[in-house]
Amino acid sequence: MHLAEKKTVSLSFRQSEYVYDRALEVIPMGASTFSRNPHLFVIGASPLYIDSARGCRVRDVDGNEFIDYSMALSIIFLGYAEPRVSAAAKAAIDDGLIFTLSCPQESILARTIVDLVPCAEMVRFCKNGSDSCEGAVRLARRHTGKLKVMTVGGYHGFHDWYIASTARREGVPPAMAEWVLPHAYNDIDAVERTIRTQAGEIAALIMEPVINIEPRPGFLERIRELTLRHNIVLIFDEMKTGFRLSIGGAQAFFGVVPDLAVFGKALSNGFPLSALVGKRELMRQFEDENCFLSASYATEKASIAAALKTLEILEGEPVLEHVWSMGERLKVGIVERIERHHLTASLKIIGFAPMTHFVISETAGFTVAQIRSFIQQESVRRGVLFVGYNHTSYAHGPADIEYTLDVYDEVFALLSRRLADGMLADRIEGRTISSFGVRGIS
């Protein structure tokens, strides 16, 4: 069905709910990825499981179709099921997929990344961001002989060294928290204070170069200066910014070159692959077999072939220009509509064009979760899968953006009305989004 025909259609999510109920019996929380958990969606008024996807559209298990702006948690950059990437991966599967020894494409891909990414002199592949970040921290600790790691607001996976500093640390030895020093993004004074007082113990500073908001002028440069001066390894976690802000990542975009960096997501357009890259002097520590990073599936050929094809397309076609231009059009259009419907106190959109985020504020006694749920429900009803951020892709065209802006025009008008008449909570037809908990528990 064409999206435009769906504007007033009331959608069924019965199959999504059925799958959820069944999944809960065998999968804690109903999904293995935190950000794909049904409780982050308005259960009953939103899709919970996706069956297939193509371009910038996803089709849920009830057969409903939506324009997607999460793009599989920022993983899909060229579009779902990009035929050339799929063909390259399929050929690799037919070759046997994974072997007793590495395949030659592994080093071809490493060389391609070295050519594109400023800090990359050598590369090691893993399957996910958590492992690559863990590897980076290990290199920094061995290189400096120090133990503590500073973080600056980002997310770096589920491993103990990092998660010990968060609320999600159940099951992690409390002692791990002694070695991780969290800081807020853009708070250069706090970063400076820690370095001034503890530099002798700090092995690494790991950060996402951009976390939703832009870095304050000089923030990244100052961090680079301080880490260099105090023998602290600077690690950029570019899982989200990599290849998205520019083909050389945030480090090329800002001209601030870290010592190590982690890439994934856009790298292989959906195939499971991450890369830990960096200065030769640091990376070569892995040549000592007792400085260890290894993964059985790291050299699986389909993902490597997919990454090679993805990078070829990124280099050969105006992908970055397109993504920036679509993202900018969307951002400007959303700002206009927020203003048109007098929602500036409740809603903002922030961030660079290829990765913008909605910031929702409590308004008129309604919580952020309620407002978010209402926007999601009404957007979904009109064919847009609102998730609170927009990671546009090469597959989003001008017509998709215009359609989405028309949807937001209607949704924001409704939101404005419901905030004014105090009926917002009554109009949420599904279960209000919760940050945690499964049906019947929270």
Q: List the x/- string, 220-259, binding to ligand PLP by CB under 6 A.
A: -----------------x-xx-------------------
Q: By CB under 6 A, tell whether 154 contacts ligand PLP.
A: yes
130 binds ligand PLP per the rule CB under 6 A? yes
Q: What's the min distance (Å) between Cβ of 132 and ligand PLP?
A: 8
Kindly indicate which of the ranges 20-28, 92-100, 105-113, 127-135 contains the residues binding ligand PLP, using the contact rule CB under 6 A.
127-135
Stretch that binds ligand PLP, among 106-114, 125-133, 183-191, 407-415 (CB under 6 A): 125-133
The residue within the footprint of ligand PLP, chosen from 30, 47, 157, 354 (CB under 6 A), is: 157
Tell me whether residue 10 or residue 33 sits nearer to ligand PLP (CB atom).
33
Q: Which of residues 13, 155, 219, 403 is near ligand PLP by CB under 6 A?
A: 155
- Reference 204, options 119, 141, 131, 122; nearest CA is 141
The nearer residue to ligand PLP, 61 or 71, going by C-beta atoms, is 71
Least Å distance, CB 130 to ligand PLP, is: 3
Q: From the list 105, 112, 128, 269, which residue makes contact with ligand PLP (rule: CB under 6 A)?
A: 128
Pick 6 or 127: Cβ nearer ligand PLP? 127
Of all residues in the shown chain, the one whose CB is closest to ligand PLP is 129
Which string of x and - marks every residue 51-90 that binds ligand PLP (by CB under 6 A)?
----------------------x-----------------
Minimum distance between the CB of residue 276 and ligand PLP, rounded to whole angstroms? 11
Per CB under 6 A, 269 contacts ligand PLP: no
Residues that bind ligand PLP (rule: CB under 6 A) add up to a total of: 14
For ligand PLP, which is the closer residue by CB, 62 or 208?
208
Question: Other C-beta atoms within 10 Å of 409: how many?
Answer: 16
Among 17, 60, 65, 208, binds ligand PLP (CB under 6 A): 208
Residue 316 CB, nearest distance to ligand PLP (Å)? 27
Task: Check binding of 300 to ligand PLP (CB under 6 A).
Answer: no
**Minimum CB separation from ligand PLP for residue 377, in Å?**
25
Q: Is the separation of the CB atoms in 19 and 51 below 8 Å?
A: no
Residues facing 237 on adjacent strands: 262
Tokens (6 digits) for 144: 């400096």
> Residues in the site for ligand PLP, rule: CB under 6 A?
73, 128-130, 133, 154-157, 208, 237, 239-240, 264
